[in-house]
Amino acid sequence: MLVATSDLEMERMRALWERTARTVSSANGLTPTNCATRTEYHRARRHFCAVRPVVSYRDVTAAMAKIFQSRGGEIIYNAEVSGLNEHKNGVVIRTRQGGEYEASTLISCSGLMADRLVKMLGLEPGFIICRFRGEYFRLAPEHNQIVNHLIYPIPDPAMPFLGVHLTRMIDGSVTVGPNAVLAFKREGYRKRDFSFSDTLEILGSSGIRRVLQNHLRSGLGEMKNSLCKSGYLRLVQKYCPRLSLSDLQPWPAGVRAQAVSPDGKLIDDFLFVTTPRTIHTCNAPSPAATSAIPIGAHIVSKVQTLLASQSNPGRTLRAARSVDALHAAFNQ
């Protein structure tokens, strides 16, 4: 449910409604008045879902990993990639832990490190990853029934962030968040996390500097609400006025990997970088987790196209089996 709490948000809601109406009408072209039969209308109505389910992404990931492994896939943990070498017949992946792996085709979904892995191939990415920490709170248990639906603010068309919203979790608890605070470390999940080299990288990027300059007011507001819990609370009270500071209980933060172009634009669409032997997912805007299965299936189809163009039959067969394991995980 989208909730407008100001005149500006009402204007944005009307614009959003108009865009949605145009998109839906062009997608199915059917209304009760122009449908030839009742069946056609009900078929068109399937584009609308009155119920928004929630899931545990931890459980979803574990289930997909289990399917992947059952089909012959292998998962290697605690392996930091330190080098990539693409050659005619494949890709060599080296890790800081001393491991070396070779593959016919590499799929990289490396999030916060996406631009760095592209650079390891000797390529200029054409973007830089800017990281924004999204901080959450969980409401005190006595407020688990305060909402029955997911409540979202009206999105700012200039920003690719959802804004602080209320989510009824699969266990019945309610979380609020996230904000969007510039993180001074690639994996800066805590407020105190800081990396001198990562901060210099931010300051040295003309694209990120332009983003910060263009959104200075909103950026400072996000930092203020991060440091001052009462400011965060006021955002939540727009939807649930009776909440107090004691109702906001700690909850893990996330870090968003946001691709930024050299001219200072926040890339708001999916971005892939491909070479003859690699596919890099470099930007995945919200709702990427919700859309993970069709996105994964799309990437697998791109890999299958690459495999079809490769000439080593033995290597291609082994790679195809690995891709089949991925495909099974997404389809099942």
**What is the CATH classification number for the domain harbouring 220?**
3.30.9
- Same domain, residue pair 245 and 297: no
Tell me the backbone φ, ψ of residue 239, rounded to 5 degrees.
-110, -30
Domain count, the chain: 3
- Same domain, residue pair 113 and 169: no
Q: What is the pLDDT of residues 279-331, one digit of tens each?
A: 999 999 888 888 889 999 999 998 888 888 765 544 444 544 455 555 555 56
pLDDT > 80? residue 231: yes
DSSP string, 44-75: HGGG--S------HHHHHHHHHHHHHHTT---
pTM score, two decimals? Answer: 0.82
Domain assignment of residue 52, yes or no: no
**Strand positions, DSSP E, 193-275:** 248-260, 271-274
- Same domain, residue pair 254 and 173: yes
Helix 313-331 and helix 57-70: axis angle, to 10°?
Answer: 140
Which amino acid, one-letter code, is at 142? Answer: E
Q: In this predicted structure, what is the pLDDT of residue 32?
A: 45
Domain assignment of residue 53, yes or no: no
- Same domain, residue pair 138 and 254: yes
**Nearby residues of 29 by Cβ (< 8 Å), 6 or more positions away:** none
Last-in-domain residue among 241, 260, 279: 260
Domain assignment of residue 187, yes or no: yes
Domain assignment of residue 95, yes or no: yes
* Residue 57 neighbours by CB distance under 10 Å: 12
Average model confidence (pLDDT) across the chain: 86
Rounded Cα distance, 206 and 201, in Å: 10
Domain assignment of residue 186, yes or no: yes
Q: In this predicted structure, what is the pLDDT of residue 160?
A: 72
226-248 average pLDDT score: 95
- Same domain, residue pair 160 and 250: yes
Q: What is the pLDDT of residues 62-71, one digit of tens each?
A: 999 999 999 9
Which amino acid, one-letter code, is at 236? Answer: V
Q: What is the pLDDT of residues 112-156, one digit of tens each?
A: 999 999 999 999 999 999 999 999 999 999 999 998 888 888 888
- Same domain, residue pair 121 and 132: no
Last-in-domain residue among 210, 227, 260: 260
Confirm if 294 and 302 have CB atoms less than 8 A apart: no
Q: What residue numbers bound the domain in which 309 lies?
A: 58-127+269-331
Tokens of 210: 């332009």
Q: In this predicted structure, what is the pLDDT of residue 189?
A: 97
Q: In this predicted structure, what is the pLDDT of residue 316?
A: 43
* Residue 186 CA from chain centroid, whole number: 16
